[in-house]
Structure 1
Amino acid sequence: DTYLTPTRAVTGAPLTCVEKSQTCKTQILGVCLEYDVTLDCEERTCKASNLQCGETFFCIDGDCYDEEQKQNDNFSEAASGLAALGEAAKSFSAENLRVFTGNAASCSKKPIGLSDCCADSGWGNNIGLTQCSEEEKSLSDAKEKKLTIELGEYCAEKVLGVCIRKKKSYCQFDSKMTRIIQEQGKQQLGLGFGSKKHPDCSGFTPEQLQQVDFSKIDMSDFYEDLNANMELPNMQEIQDRINDKYSDLSQ
């Protein structure tokens, strides 16, 4: 960032600044990760007019300030942009020049009392599910992790006009990020996923990808995983270390 920084008598004093200009310095997939901001700030001289007794803070003349840490609300957006870039590189297919590609998957449902390999739960207790294939078990795991898009159900086998086996079709993806971009990106471009009998889980061509407005992609599903897996530093511990360091230097 670019700032016109005034001289201050006390570090941390608040400033009155006016934003003069703002430009995007680094942009990935339509998401700005770094801004170049120019501020025009008034020069201000401050004095420390406060008294602290133990843990109690007193403001003597009513014109005190507090230094507080502010959370960067753009972190999740920036992180999702970087994650999307990584997924695009990982899923790129040199054969057909497509990114964010998925795979067609399906599961079978037999009449009541027999196996239902499309069940969303109960895999550990249902003996009939032992007849399900490894691909169907993998699909069940993917559904639980929100890595799939359901395309519909159809009759896969009939006897005397009676359906004895149904199938459910899905597009299955390696990551939640790919699923989100496929689902919402194709909706933006008016593209579909084929039919329930003939799924089309192909990714985007470079030309199609350029038409996707990533600023309109809802990444809330990804944010949940990001926040759940994030290990934040202990800010009190960091502050204590800084105080100890300054204390050592002043001795």
Structure 2
Amino acid sequence: MLHSSLRNNSIFCLGGNCNTQTIIPNRDIAKVAHLAMLNQMSKDIKTNPVSVFSGKHRKCKKDVFSFLNCCSSMTGWGRDIGLSQCKSKEQELALYRKKGYCYYIGTYCSSRIPILGICLARKSTYCCFQSKLARIFQEEARKQLKIDFGTPECPKCRGLTVKELQKVDFTKIKIWMNYLVIYSLRLKTA
């Protein structure tokens, strides 16, 4: 009789002969997070010049008079009556934000009434990355290197160069804490 079980640490039994193994959990999540970060870096490396964790800037628009809101709810009375619709890039941004891939840079007035100067529409700007881990690394590394993400009107979502990576103190990057949160959330949903 073939039997397998994880109860009582019994891993595999064949004909009643069981090998008991002790499962020792790896409590060093910092090393796991570091390996995951290095794996992501190898997938994301760009050449000419070499950089890692490159992002793309994304913007969404919100009209002042609730005509259309493409930054959070994808709604508005302009959409309700069929006069306006959110762009596909704004819908994509909403998905990236939900996954935690984007860093919020800020909001600016993108459309004004001439002479009066009244703002009709605002745009919010984000830097979006390939993964949540890439976003977290960018935030932490840029803090150390004192590199900003630019302004809402002129975002800087570039990857980090080899020279910049050499200056990063990886022991001060708190990725492991964030990775632990991400990992625990995955376990809860599994």
For the aligned pair, the TM-score class normalised by the smaller chain equals 0.7 to 0.9
Consecutive unaligned residues in structure 2, runs of 5 or more: 1-21
2:149 to 177, 193, 196: 193
**Does residue 109 of the first structure (1) align with residue 65 of the second (2)?**
no
Q: In the TM superposition, what whole-angstrom CA distance separates every residue of 1:183-234 from its partner, at most 9, and x where no partner exists?
A: 0100001111111110001111111101111221112222222234359xxx
Q: What is the rounded CA distance, in whole Å, between the counterparts of 1:86 and 1:230 in structure 2?
A: 21
Q: Which residue of 2 aligns with 1:174?
A: 130
Q: Which residue of 2 aligns with 1:221?
A: 178
**Does residue 139 of the first structure (1) align with residue 93 of the second (2)?**
yes
Q: Which residue of 1 aligns with 2:50?
A: 97
1:138, CA displacement in angstroms? Answer: 0.9
CA contact (8 A) 1:176 1:222 kept: no
CA contact (8 A) 2:66 2:76 kept: no
Q: In the TM superposition, what whole-angstrom CA distance separates every residue of 1:112-134 from its partner, at most 9, and x where no partner exists?
A: 23111111xx44x7673871111
Q: In the TM superposition, what whole-angstrom CA distance separates every residue of 1:121-173 from its partner, at most 9, and x where no partner exists?
A: x44x7673871111111111111111111111111111132111111111011
Q: Which residue of 2 aligns with 1:209?
A: 165
Q: Counterpart of 2:51 in 1: which secondary structure?
A: coil
Higher relative contact order by CA 8 Å / sep ≥ 6: 1 or 2? 2
Q: What is the rounded CA distance, in whole Å, between the counterparts of 1:172 and 1:200 in structure 2?
A: 11
- Larger helix share, 1 or 2: 2
Q: What is the rounded CA distance, in whole Å, between the counterparts of 1:89 and 1:157 in structure 2?
A: 41
Q: What is the rounded CA distance, in whole Å, between the counterparts of 1:69 and 1:194 in structure 2?
A: 48
Q: Say what the alpha-carbon RMSD is for the aligned residues.
A: 2.3
CA contact (8 A) 1:118 1:140 kept: yes
**Counterpart of 1:150 in structure 2: which amino acid?**
Y
**Counterpart of 1:109 in structure 2: which amino acid?**
K
Q: What is the rounded CA distance, in whole Å, between the counterparts of 1:228 and 1:149 in structure 2?
A: 20
CA contact (8 A) 1:157 1:165 kept: yes
Percent of aligned pairs sharing the same letter: 29
Q: What is the rounded CA distance, in whole Å, between the counterparts of 2:95 and 2:184 in structure 1?
A: 22
Task: State which structure, 1 or 2, has the greater radius of gyration over its C-alpha atoms.
Answer: 1
Q: What is the rounded CA distance, in whole Å, between the counterparts of 2:144 and 2:89 in structure 1?
A: 31
Q: What is the rounded CA distance, in whole Å, between the counterparts of 1:217 and 1:97 in structure 2?
A: 21
**Counterpart of 1:115 in structure 2: which amino acid?**
L
Q: Return the TM-score normalized by structure 1.
A: 0.59
**Counterpart of 1:113 in structure 2: which amino acid?**
S
Q: Counterpart of 2:65 in 1: which secondary structure?
A: coil
